[in-house]
Amino acid sequence: MTSAKDRLRELAPPEPVIPSLDQLDAAVLPPVSQIEILPPVSETREGKLDNSDRLDRLTDKALDFYDALLDEPLDPEASKLLNAQLTAAGAIINVQAKVDTTRLRKRQEDTLPKLLKLIAEEDARRKKLVA
């Protein structure tokens, strides 16, 4: 009769084989010229979720509503309207900050082409040294 620990060991995935450092030094990577560099994703909404068209329409309606609400003159006597205007303004500013952060992060992370160019230059430099 096998113990629970033995049964778990049998069901567990095998331990990954980690090569020695000597094997890693001998590894051959494909030349950078053979690596396909994909163009950046366009600003279109590729890979949309099923309800994304509906969400786009609702977002447009919400923005129109907020636009009309914020166009109303500020009236300190109408506390409900003033509260709604302040809430709308805060929500819009919060969303814009998130969008700006995402755009900035996307710009900062798009360094792959530059890295591949540096790798190609280093490969060329090393080939000259070896030759």
Q: What is the pLDDT of residues 55-109, one digit of tens each?
A: 778 888 888 888 888 888 888 888 888 888 888 888 888 888 888 888 887 766 6
Q: What are the CA-CA distances from residue 63 to residues 11, 57, 99 (Å)?
A: 54, 10, 15
Single-letter amino acid, residue 78: A
Question: Are the beta carbons of 69 and 85 closer than 8 angstroms?
Answer: yes
Examine residue 102 and state whether it is found in any structural domain, yes or no.
yes
Considering the entire predicted model, what is its pTM? 0.39
Examine residue 24 and state whether it is found in any structural domain, yes or no.
no
Query: How many domains is the chain built from?
Result: 1
Rounded to the nearest 5 degrees, what angle is found at the Cα of 122, between the Cα atoms of 120 and 126? Answer: 120
Question: Are the beta carbons of 76 and 82 closer than 8 angstroms?
Answer: yes
Examine residue 22 and state whether it is found in any structural domain, yes or no.
no
Examine residue 47 and state whether it is found in any structural domain, yes or no.
no
Q: Which domain holds residue 110?
A: 52-131
Examine residue 7 and state whether it is found in any structural domain, yes or no.
no
